[in-house]
């Protein structure tokens, strides 16, 4: 697509991207629908196994080309910087397209596009400045450790934040010198395809990036193919376990960023105004469709009734509406089937004895009839053992729980198979840090929530995943470490001398 046609109102063509070329995929045809009203965006023909074969061939050729494999790190950094500039240049279009793709508010998708550009720039800097090391040695040997690219990376990304998840994998992998085959979700493929168009126009060597929207067939091929040297996946824990099983049999490195049931904690000394705003943002932004959503709220019993009253009142004032409206705070869900799944979870909570304080239904009115809207929902009277307190709902549903003391709180917060994130609201920073050390989570926010930095590692524990993304180690994860020993003595090896004869 030419740059002049890339504007709101234009969708990427019905094509996948392989080896620097766009073509019709050989897989199933999928309708891309606008979650706000169910209207058709476009039809995408997904990739097939044959398409994966072609993408692998293109990646092999690109990695063997001296134009890439002999490129110095600061030259790779220049490519990433050009891609970042191109993302910025097309930010209005990418934000609009991601809102059409996922139903997220335009305000949020604009932030996500900016974050993607920043991530590209960060890894450009990392590629240019990362150092290798001469290591301590004994005797006449000079020893050093070098990092080299793995080769072909299989990257599988989810539907809820495509451009952020895509770039979070593409940027460090390219910075490390690899080729990437990216499989976005068939529920939200458009932003990934637009990103491919943008990358293509920067002139990046063909074959280094392929974008293959598809379902389980394509994903399984990427996970199982012996040419894939590393698998990176963001998505549900059930699929993540299957990927880990295959990766284990193949002895191939894997990074899994999976689900969460993150606890948010209101301590007795919390600033309630600050906590209220943070809790609302933590669970209801993105319509709760976020792995890090603060979906279990533990409130100290001394504050419980007061905070519950304020929380319910504030939730009732949230604006549920069209993603393009500047007033909207809670937009539609990504797909009609996903809304139905959230509705089943709320029904399950009621069966478990949960009391719906607010929400628990679709909004009423002509503006909502055709979209996949669901009201922000708060449920209390469940125990921490209830299924809805243990499983990821992935929607705008908050479970409200009182606690009496830190020991009980820590036990309940950690009594969950997930360990992705945690939020703590307290004026006592030292006490909050001490509490955070005892919570099993990859990220702990104190007096804030859902804040990120490309330089700060992100990932989870337990069923929330394996490995970390972002930061310097985020690039090293796409490399293999190789050690070299150089004998500076120019003398025969002692073993050889011991076998000399007169």
Hey, which residues are catalytic here? 169, 257, 291, 469
Task: Identify the CA nearest to 116 among candidates 77, 183, 170.
Answer: 170
For residue 89, what are the contacts with CB-CB under 8 A and spacing of at least 6?
none
Distance, in Å, from the CA atom of 124 to the CA atom of 455, rounded to the nearest integer, reads 12
Task: Identify the CA nearest to 204 among candidates 3, 12, 19.
Answer: 19
Task: Identify the CA nearest to 122 among candidates 499, 485, 469, 486.
Answer: 469
Longest dimension (CA), the chain: 102
The rounded Cα 396 to chain-centroid distance in angstroms is: 19
For residue 455, what are the contacts with CB-CB under 8 A and spacing of at least 6?
122, 470, 471, 472
Let me know how long the chain is.
Answer: 502
Helix, strand and coil content of the chain, in percent to the nearest 5, comes to 40, 20, 35
Radius of gyration of the chain (CA): 25
Sign of CA dihedral 341, 342, 347, 349: positive
Distance, in Å, from the CA atom of 183 to the CA atom of 271, rounded to the nearest integer, reads 43
Q: First-to-last CA distance in the chain?
A: 78
3-state secondary structure of 16: strand
3-state secondary structure of 287: helix
Distance, in Å, from the CA atom of 114 to the CA atom of 4, rounded to the nearest integer, reads 21
Name beta bridge partners: 87.
none
For residue 19, what are the contacts with CB-CB under 8 A and spacing of at least 6?
54, 55, 57, 58, 61, 62, 206, 207, 210
């Amino acid at each position: 697509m030419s740059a002049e046609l890339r504007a709101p109102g234009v969708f990427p063509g019905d094509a996948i991207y392989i080896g620097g070329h766009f073509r019709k995929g050989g897989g199933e045809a999928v309708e891309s629908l606008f979650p706000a009203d169910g209207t058709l965006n476009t039809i995408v023909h997904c990739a097939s196994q044959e398409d994966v074969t072609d993408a692998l061939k293109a990646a092999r050729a690109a990695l063997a080309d001296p134009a890439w494999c002999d490129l110095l790190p600061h030259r790779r950094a220049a490519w990433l910087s050009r891609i970042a500039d191109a993302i910025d240049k097309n930010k209005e279009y990418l934000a609009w397209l991601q809102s059409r793709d996922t139903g997220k508010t335009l305000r949020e998708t604009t932030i996500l596009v900016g974050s993607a550009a920043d991530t590209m720039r960060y890894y450009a800097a990392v590629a240019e400045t990362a150092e290798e090391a001469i290591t301590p040695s004994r005797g006449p040997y000079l020893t050093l450790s070098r990092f080299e690219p793995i080769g072909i990376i299989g990257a599988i990304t989810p539907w809820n934040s495509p451009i952020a998840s895509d770039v979070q994998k593409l940027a460090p992998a390219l910075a490390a010198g690899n080729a990437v085959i990216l499989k976005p979700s068939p529920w939200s493929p458009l932003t990934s395809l637009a990103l491919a168009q943008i990358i293509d126009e920067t002139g990046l060597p063909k074959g280094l990036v392929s974008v293959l929207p598809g379902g389980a067939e394509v994903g399984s091929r990427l996970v199982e193919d012996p040419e894939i040297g590393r698998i990176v996946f963001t998505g549900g824990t059930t699929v993540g376990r299957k990927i880990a099983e295959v990766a284990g049999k193949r002895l191939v490195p894997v990074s899994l960023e999976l689900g969460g049931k993150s606890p948010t904690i209101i301590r007795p000394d919390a600033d309630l105004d600050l906590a209220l705003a943070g809790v609302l943002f933590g669970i209801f932004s993105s319509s709760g469709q976020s792995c890090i959503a603060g979906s279990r709220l533990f409130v100290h019993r001394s504050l419980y009734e007061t905070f519950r009253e304020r929380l319910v009142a504030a939730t009732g004032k949230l604006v549920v509406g069209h993603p393009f409206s500047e007033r909207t705070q809670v937009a539609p869900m990504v797909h009609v089937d996903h809304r139905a799944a959230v509705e089943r979870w709320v029904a399950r909570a009621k069966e478990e004895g949960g009391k719906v304080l607010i929400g628990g239904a679709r909004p009423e009115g002509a503006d909502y009839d055709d979209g996949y809207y669901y009201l922000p929902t708060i449920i209390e009277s469940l125990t921490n053992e209830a299924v809805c307190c243990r499983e990821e709902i992935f929607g705008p549903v908050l479970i409200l729980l009182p606690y009496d003391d830190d020991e009980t709180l820590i036990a309940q917060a950690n009594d969950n198979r997930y360990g992705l994130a945690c939020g703590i609201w307290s004026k006592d920073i030292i006490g909050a840090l001490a509490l955070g050390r005892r919570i099993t989570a990859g990220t702990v926010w104190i007096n804030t929530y859902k804040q990120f930095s490309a330089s700060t590692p992100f990932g989870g524990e337990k069923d929330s995943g394996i490995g970390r993304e972002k930061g310097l180690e985020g690039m090293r994860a796409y490399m293999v470490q190789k050690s070299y020993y150089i004998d500076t003595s120019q003398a025969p090896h002692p073993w050889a001398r011991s076998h000399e004869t007169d």
